[in-house]
A and B are shown apart, each in its own frame.
Chain A
């Protein structure tokens, strides 16, 4: 117990009126280890993190820091005691410089005057420790997500953090970027900093984690040594019963005609796609590093980004200038961020689900909308209370189904899914890809963009690799192994020509 930096003892959190988010959860983090936290959506991970970071106060239980009980009244107090939280949506101020961000709220100086020399010295020091290749004078908005991540870590260092909490740092990083973040984490751990690392991905955990604690239904199930525990045991702890990861099923050969043929599509930031086509009943995957152009390609097809080019949709040329044009031709987009682009969070489920299809008359008929929503949500096996419920009350997987329902209700036959599984737990992901499979079975043409190659590998008939705005290779996952595709993703065209 001597080297436990942080001990969480039987902590509970009950939200009014009677929602139990955490029930007697316990956890201990040692100095110099990477301690991972695993759990399905709704398992209580974020609640636990927020309690440790001082954003929530526990209903019951104690936190010990270096063996001393502490009561954290605010995130600022937690930070003073050496607990630093890096949120998924990095809470940096984009308009300020790296240096200003590093010392936001705790700038060195006296009487409200900033000691610039000292700040420069200490920020250079912190940036050196995270191996940053950018200047402290760079504005944060000009940095890549990975460099912003490094800035956030450096910020933790300037606060002399003993324990750094990282909430899904990998969500917005590609694999090479993630590797550089891991390098930094390993270095910090060597210097005695403890890391509490939250992720959905078992692969990452294997690479970086020392021990892992699994949460389920607000309770801590167990803490495992990463090295000596198999994937099956972890997955079982997460979901409570044996359930295999997504596996590739043999798919029937696609026989449908060409639904959409992109001869050429050129857009902003070097997007240049040529010769990509989708057939009816086919699931085409798009993979690539972040910034490879997957999202802007899908948004262009959907009329939300402007482009030049030549696209043929069902034997007729197609050039949407507004999402409404694409929607009229039977296209639906499930955008990358369901919260900011896909849903009106506090609006009822049925209004969200019928939003695109409302324009068929002047008047709204609420009962008709509910009637049209119910069977579709049913067929997607969505779990919800009432159609009038605000969509924000649903779990992530069910929210995603409402976004999908929008297009199914509207009769879309070409579905563009942009990172549809982001933030979903393993069960919800499997569910989602089953739906994709069913939709394709029913004759729809589906394009799925994802940074998780495993998923595409399991679900798609063909996988296109995007690299720096271009589609550089098409692979058939039934004959190509995963590593070949992965290498093309990282190395780009040079590799393909070899």
Chain B
């Protein structure tokens, strides 16, 4: 065998210098570098940016998209996509509002809603996995149907008059540092990111998610229950969308059937911006976290500068394309072509 290797001298022959290691890290975690750069720009543009209040606001505003994007990360890691999450957020937001307005205990209402969202996701995942239909189509159908169901629930009328206690889910201020408190929904987002990161890294399920996305046939022939795994990641996505809906309704204090239109695209953009491959098998939730925050900071800058959402949309799109090109370049450099 020695001759097989002779043409490829070991790349690790010399211990790389410190500066090269830092450069490699910066390339691997480019989303953090970009994020920090944008933060620096934001801080120089506005003295208000790096205040505790503003930072706490950032987390609060990012939380709904962020929670949904965590679920989306699982789905995209298996090489699938979930277009229905915006509609599931709205559906679950309305469901929890309706249950509360009918006098259900908040805990019961939240539990039922979470179960409903999980079921929606699992059903779409199961259809996609068992019937071998692309998840794009199944969840596109979900996007339309669940939105319709949301309107049907109250004939399109928002539900208001929710109990005070319910608002506490999203807006209890939790002190983290002296003088720095963050809203509970921001904290929920952070905690869920950490949990999801641990699941992906330290559980067999997480490993199976990467394997199924990396090569579904090899995974199946290694005895992995790939259909179950695909169903499960959609269940996770549905569960996260339900949480997103609950947080949204809690923050708005009304159930709004038109809420979260196009949220799926924000979530997908964040996942991809965070370096997760749309073909599956590569990426993680750390990138998603930073990408969600990056997009939020951008919105924040535009607001601080007094530029409207038209500018925001345009620039956000350009940044996503730039990030994808950067990742392609990195893949190319690493010979993953």
Contacts and interface: CB of A to CB of B under 8 A. Distances in A.
A323 B221 contact: yes
A341 interface: yes
From A21, A240, A327, A358, residue with most partner B Cβ within 10 Å:
A358
A304 B215 contact: no
Given A239-B3, A344-B219, A383-B1, A351 B336 contact: no
A327 B223 contact: yes
A376 B230 CA distance: 31
Given A362-B203, A364-B206, A395-B4, A344 B214 contact: yes
A364 B7 contact: no
A406 B4 CA distance: 22
A409 to B, nearest CB: 11
Interface in A220-265: 239-240
A340 B5 contact: no
Contacts of A473: none
B310 interface: no
Contacts of B3: 40, 42-43, 216-217, 239-240, 425, 427
A112 interface: no
Nearest to A342: B218
Contacts of A427: 1, 3-4
Nearest to A328: B223
B278 to A, nearest CB: 15
Contact of B9 (A20, A397, A406): A20
Interface string A352-381: 000110110111100000000000000001
Contacts of B7: 19-21, 42-44, 217-218
A377 B132 CA distance: 36
Interface residues of B, number: 38
Interface residues of A, number: 58
Contacts of A396: 4
Nearest to A238: B3
B215 A344 contact: yes
B311 to A, nearest CB: 38
Interface in B86-116: none
A358 B204 contact: yes
B219 to A, nearest CB: 7
From B10, B219, B221, B224, residue with most partner A Cβ within 10 Å:
B221
B215 A340 contact: yes
A165 to B, nearest CB: 20
A323 B222 contact: yes
B5 A383 contact: yes
B11 A355 contact: no
Nearest to A369: B207
A340 B204 CA distance: 22
Nearest to B224: A355
Contact of A304 (B5, B11, B203, B221): B221
A302 interface: yes
A486 B12 CA distance: 47
B210 interface: yes
B218 A340 contact: yes
Given A347-B211, A364-B206, A341 B221 contact: yes
B8 interface: yes
B12 A386 contact: yes
B24 interface: no
Contact of B4 (A304, A346, A355, A425): A425
Contacts of B9: 18-20
Nearest to B204: A358
A275 interface: no
Contacts of B328: none
A114 interface: no
From A15, A344, A345, residue with most partner B Cβ within 10 Å:
A344
Interface string B180-219: 0000000000000000000001111111101100110111
B6 interface: yes
Given A323-B221, A343-B218, A347-B210, A363 B204 contact: yes
B11 A42 contact: no
A385 B210 contact: no
B253 interface: no
B332 to A, nearest CB: 10
A284 to B, nearest CB: 21
A370 B234 CA distance: 30
B296 to A, nearest CB: 31
A347 B281 contact: yes
A341 B218 contact: yes
Contacts of A217: 3, 6-7
B220 interface: yes
A364 B4 contact: no
From B2, B214, B225, residue with most partner A Cβ within 10 Å:
B214
Interface string A422-444: 00010110010000000000000
Given A346-B281, A347-B281, A40 B222 contact: no
Contacts of A16: 333
Contacts of B8: 19, 42, 395
A302 to B, nearest CB: 7
Contacts of A363: 202-204
B4 A341 contact: no
Nearest to B333: A16
A444 B219 CA distance: 24
Interface string B153-175: 00000000000000000000000
A326 B222 CA distance: 10
From B11, B223, B225, B335, residue with most partner A Cβ within 10 Å:
B223
A386 B15 CA distance: 14
B4 A428 contact: yes
Contacts of B201: 364
A84 interface: no
B199 to A, nearest CB: 10
B1 A345 contact: no
B223 A340 contact: no
A41 interface: yes
A341 B223 CA distance: 12
Interface string B224-252: 11000000000000000000000000000
Interface of A: 15-21, 40-44, 216-218, 239-240, 302, 304, 322-324, 326-328, 333, 335, 340-347, 351, 355-356, 358-359, 361-364, 381, 383, 385-386, 392, 395-398, 406, 425, 427-428, 431
Interface of B: 1-12, 201-208, 210-211, 214-215, 217-225, 281-282, 333, 335-336
Given A327-B222, A340-B217, A344-B219, 9 more contacts: A19-B8, A324-B225, A328-B223, A341-B221, A346-B281, A355-B218, A356-B222, A359-B223, A364-B206
Per CB-CB distance, the 7 closest pairs between chain A and chain B, nearest first, are A344-B214, A327-B223, A324-B223, A395-B4, A42-B7, A355-B222, A344-B215
22 contacts: A19-B7, A19-B8, A19-B9, A217-B6, A322-B225, A323-B222, A324-B224, A324-B225, A328-B223, A341-B218, A341-B221, A344-B215, A344-B218, A346-B281, A351-B211, A355-B207, A355-B218, A355-B219, A362-B203, A381-B1, A395-B5, A428-B4
